[in-house]
């Protein structure tokens, strides 16, 4: 008796379908890898964001800026606080001491010039001064990382223990530039003057010149 065998489905018919399925899965995985790599490159190419906190405690995301850029209010604050620091003298903080502490906030040429102006005939130790800011203009960008501002104020100078003092109007153009420098380190004992200079140096700005209003060569001096 002959046995009749039923036809069996050949396994070879499944192989093409299985091959197509594997190829499709690999293609999908490759596409995802390329997409993820593209997104990662976009993220890493951006400047990192900084988380800041407002006075009321709310958190905000700050957009980073190139080193050569500064917000106008930051520039105005630096100029106002630096000038007030430089021109406010007392017996405990004589002008030479103040300017020497402020060296990291000024260009060397300007520092030397101011020292010569405040110490006529060696009387610098007998001078006391108060500097009052009245107005500071918006910074005008002269070139990348350099600004000019017009500052109007009043100086009251007390010479040789003169209690009445001499009031002087003060209106000058101030040139400020960005510098790449580390904050001025604090050394012990720390006093209020040193602390103020340290905080201002964190802005990485420097006053490079102080000129009369209308001086067209202020940038060149």
Q: What is the pLDDT of residues 70-127, one digit of tens each?
A: 889 999 999 999 999 999 888 888 888 888 888 889 998 998 888 887 654 445 557 7
pLDDT 10s digits, 55-68: 555 655 566 667 77
- CATH fold label, 72-212: Nuclear Transport Factor 2; Chain: A, (3.10.450)
Q: What is the pLDDT of residue 106?
A: 92
Helices vs. strands in the chain: H and E counts, helices first: 5, 7
Assign 58 to helix, strand or coil.
coil
A 10 A CB-CB count for 147 gives: 21
Strands 166-178 and 205-212: antiparallel
DSSP state, residue 71: -
Measured in degrees and rounded to the nearest 5, phi and psi for residue 42 equal -65, -40
Indicate whether 7 pLDDT > 60.
no
Point out the least confidently predicted range of 20-29, 139-148, 193-202: 20-29
* Residue 90: both structure tokens together: 């007392």
With beta carbons less than 8 A apart as the criterion, state whether 126 and 140 touch. no
pTM of the model: 0.68
């Amino acid at each position: 008796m002959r046995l009749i065998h039923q036809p069996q489905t050949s396994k070879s018919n499944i192989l093409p379908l299985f091959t197509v399925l594997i190829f499709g899965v690999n293609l999908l995985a490759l596409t995802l890898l390329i997409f993820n790599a593209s997104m990662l490159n976009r993220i890493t190419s951006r400047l990192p964001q900084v988380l800041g906190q407002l006075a009321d405690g709310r958190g905000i995301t700050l957009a980073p800026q190139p080193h050569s850029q500064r917000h106008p209010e930051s520039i105005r604050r630096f100029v106002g606080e630096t000038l007030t620091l430089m021109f406010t003298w007392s017996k405990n903080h004589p002008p030479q001491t103040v300017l020497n502490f402020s060296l990291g906030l000024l260009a060397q040429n300007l520092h030397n010039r101011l020292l010569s102006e405040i110490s006529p005939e060696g009387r610098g130790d007998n001078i006391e001064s108060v500097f009052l800011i009245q107005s500071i203009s918006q910074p005008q960008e002269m070139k990348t990382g350099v600004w000019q501002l017009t500052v109007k104020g009043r100086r009251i100078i007390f010479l040789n223990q003169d209690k009445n003092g001499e009031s002087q109007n003060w209106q000058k153009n101030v040139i400020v530039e960005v510098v790449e420098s580390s904050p001025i380190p604090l050394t012990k004992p720390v006093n209020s003057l040193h602390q103020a200079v340290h905080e201002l140096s964190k802005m990485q700005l420097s006053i490079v010149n102080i000129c009369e209003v209308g001086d067209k060569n202020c940038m060149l001096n």
